[in-house]
Amino acid sequence: MKLKLDDNGNVVLQNGQPVYVHDDGKEAPFDAAAAVTKISALNREAQGHREAKEAAEARAKLFEGIEDADAAIKALETVKNLKEGDLVTAGKVEEIKAAAKRAAEEQVAAAAKAAAEREKTLQGDLEKLQGQLHGELIGGSFSRSKLISEKFAIPGDLVQARFGQAFKIEEGKVVAYDQAGNKIFSRARPGEVADFDEALEALVDQYPYKDQILKSSGANGGGAPHGGHPGGKPPAGKGNFGGNKDDRLQAIRSQFPDLAQS
């Protein structure tokens, strides 16, 4: 599933929502707010199933030693109908306990199995929605980045291929971590987490090949330097910076192998 872009590389919106192209070619807008609501609902439902399972297991402990429900009922009826002064043998007591335990364990096992199956289904739905939300929040941030459009010599998808793993979703927000695993905070707003462009700029500053992916100060409005080749042309057979998107990507990957391996 990929973001739909127009001829200028901008994200296509429908009713204010980014449009995605699915693997079967169908297009549909992604409602991030609805996805967050659905994820919260699935989490609550999954928690309810877990709590019900734990409650059933706790109740089952009250019937430890009882295994056969039918035998237990029969035994209870026998005890109920005992005449005054009759004695219940120790063996009969054990039979009743075993029957009750078995009946309770069967009920708990059935409830636990149903809860586990439902929880598995909910977890799958949750992971799918989280993946879609992750793709929209992080992938969309790369696609809409002003920093990338103004200062990078490569398209947003290659920038994401190199630096995307540094970004995570925490409490519905995009958060970045540096190479040491430390959360990147804003220099402009001390104590606050850096926004996407500020965090990306900090990551690029630490990147040893940043000069290869950033536009040079003398780059014209048509784009970035072509990998330092004389005349601004890439080697023959290695793509074309002046061609279509696939040609440009091939040219960039041939000149910046570090990005292609990321």
Residue 184: what pLDDT? 97
Token pair of 114 as six digits: 């149903």
pLDDT at position 240 is: 63
Check if the beta carbon of residue 132 is closer than 8 Å to that of residue 140: no
Strand stretches in the chain, DSSP E: 2-3, 13-14, 17-21, 27-29, 167-170, 173-176
| pLDDT score, position 217 | 66
- The per-residue pLDDT string of the chain (262 residues; one tens digit each, 9 = 90 and over) reads 788 888 888 888 888 888 888 888 888 888 877 878 888 888 899 898 889 888 888 887 777 777 777 777 777 777 666 554 555 565 777 888 888 888 889 988 888 888 888 888 888 888 877 777 777 889 999 999 999 999 999 999 999 999 999 999 998 889 999 999 999 999 999 999 999 999 999 999 999 999 999 998 654 444 444 444 444 444 444 666 556 667 767 767 776 666 555 5
Pairwise CA distance, residues 1 & 17, whole Å: 15
Beta carbons within 10 angstroms of residue 34's beta carbon: 11
| Coil, helix or strand at residue 193 | strand
Q: What confidence score (pLDDT) does residue 255 get?
A: 63
Domain ranges of the chain: 32-144, 146-260
Q: How far apart are CA 11 and CA 196, in angstroms?
A: 17
The reported pLDDT for the residue numbered 222 is 43
How confident is the model at residue 87, as a pLDDT?
52
**Tokens (6 digits) for 218:** 């003398």
Closest listed residue to residue 203, CA positions, set 136, 134, 132, 141: 141
Q: Is 175 exposed, middle or buried (0-12, 13-18, 19+ CB in 10 A)?
A: middle
